[in-house]
């Protein structure tokens, strides 16, 4: 299991962003993303936004101003969010020297876009924002590597026979495309069916509240820790990064709640935390707060 470089900041109400360095991808673009990434911000080629709340998009202005010239930056957003076309129009007027530089693209539930060669980004709708039938206003993302594999009926067929088939019918006749899951990002969301994230080597998931009582009326739009961990304990998962905690909680309070919950569940997956108002750099290269109980899924350096 490879360890990918992830740097992020996520504090409920204030700002959320995660830079997935090998994919040249920024997930959400809350306040301070550009300043805190510094020169690394120039490596971003795609900004994928989950929804139109301010704490997930207010860093876009500086990113656009510094990195959009020459058309090298793409901004992806849920197709039914009218706020983003309005922002595009504003940025074009406010920063005319980069007007038309960034490519703004919509994405719908289940739609995929190419990140780089064999890498694809897929959007999954969630109920954080109210949406009408067929609308996509809030999403999480999954990243896959798409591989070509020999179809099962041709495995074991001698090479000469395979070459003849390719010559006659082309490679598509003997090969099939297979998704290799790489990464998941929940965005803001209540706890949903964990099968959405099954089989991922890395998942970044919000955990705004430490218990359901604190969540109150927000349970329909945000996750609470016990319900989330109980759900995720049932699936195959490599590494879990919990984020988007409320500032009502102290860092030590969050650590204790996570470890206590993990111990109670014999939680199989290792856990890292992005604590309120804390920038975490190269998150998975640091020790987890919980090591996990399944050795087969433990992280490698």
CA gap 70, 91 in Å, rounded: 15
pLDDT reported for residue 157: 66
Indicate whether 146 pLDDT > 80.
yes
Reduced to 3 states, what is the DSSP secondary structure of residue 94?
helix
CA gap 71, 75 in Å, rounded: 11
Q: Are 277 and 43 in contact (CB under 8 A)?
A: no
Can you tell me the mean pLDDT for 106-132? 95
Can you tell me the mean pLDDT for 60-73? 91
Indicate whether 298 pLDDT > 60.
no
pLDDT reported for residue 251: 98
Assign 173 a pLDDT band (cuts: 50, 70, 90).
Answer: low
Indicate whether 1 pLDDT > 50.
no
Can you tell me the mean pLDDT for 238-264? 98
pLDDT reported for residue 149: 66
Indicate whether 295 pLDDT > 60.
no
Can you tell me the mean pLDDT for 235-245? 97
pLDDT reported for residue 296: 45
Specify the length of the chain in residues: 301
pLDDT reported for residue 175: 65
Give me the domains of the chain, ranges plus CATH numbers. 6-297 (3.60.15.10)
CA gap 224, 212 in Å, rounded: 6
Instruction: Out of 49-58, 111-120, 276-285, 290-299, pick the least confident.
Output: 290-299
CA gap 55, 94 in Å, rounded: 21
Can you tell me the mean pLDDT for 173-177? 65
Indicate whether 174 pLDDT > 90.
no
Q: Are 268 and 235 in contact (CB under 8 A)?
A: no
Assign 178 a pLDDT band (cuts: 50, 70, 90).
Answer: confident
Indicate whether 270 pLDDT > 90.
yes
Calculate ∠ Cα 73-75-271, nearest 5°: 105
Can you tell me the mean pLDDT for 190-210? 97
- Per DSSP, the residues of 236-298 read -EEEEEEE-B-TTS-HHHHHHHHHHHHHHHT--S-EEE--TT--BSSGGGS--SB--S-GGG-
Q: Are 246 and 16 in contact (CB under 8 A)?
A: no
Q: Return the closest-CA partner of residue 165 out of 154, 181, 179.
A: 154
Indicate whether 273 pLDDT > 60.
yes
């Amino acid at each position: 299991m490879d360890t990918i470089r992830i740097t992020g900041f996520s504090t409920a109400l204030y700002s959320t962003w995660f830079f997935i360095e090998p994919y040249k991808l920024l997930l959400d673009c809350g306040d301070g993303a550009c300043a805190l990434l510094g020169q690394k911000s120039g490596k971003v080629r795609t900004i994928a936004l989950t929804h139109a709340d301010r704490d997930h998009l207010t860093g876009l202005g500086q990113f656009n101003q510094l990195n959009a010239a020459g058309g090298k930056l793409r901004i992806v957003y849920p197709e039914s969010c009218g706020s983003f076309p309005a922002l595009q129009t504003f940025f074009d007027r406010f920063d005319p020297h980069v007007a038309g530089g960034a490519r703004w693209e919509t994405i719908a539930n289940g739609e995929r876009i190419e990140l780089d060669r064999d890498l694809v980004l897929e959007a999954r709708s969630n109920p954080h924002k109210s949406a009408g039938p067929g609308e996509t206003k809030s999403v999480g993302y999954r990243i896959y590597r798409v591989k070509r594999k020999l179809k099962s009926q041709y495995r074991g067929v001698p090479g000469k026979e395979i070459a003849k088939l390719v010559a006659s019918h082309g490679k598509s006749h003997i090969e099939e495309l297979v998704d290799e899951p790489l990464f998941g990002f929940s965005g803001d969301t209540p706890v949903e069916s964990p099968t959405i994230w099954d089989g991922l080597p890395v998942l970044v998931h919000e955990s705004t509240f430490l218990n359901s009582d604190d969540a109150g009326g927000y349970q329909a739009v945000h996750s609470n820790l016990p319900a989330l961990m109980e759900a995720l304990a049932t699936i195959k998962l490599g590494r879990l990064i919990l984020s988007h905690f409320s500032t009502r909680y102290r860092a030590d309070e969050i650590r204790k709640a996570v470890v206590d919950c993990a111990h109670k569940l014999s939680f199989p997956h290792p856990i890292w935390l992005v604590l309120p108002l804390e920038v975490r750099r190269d998150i998975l290269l640091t020790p987890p707060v919980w090591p996990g109980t399944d050795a087969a899924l433990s992280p490698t350096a």
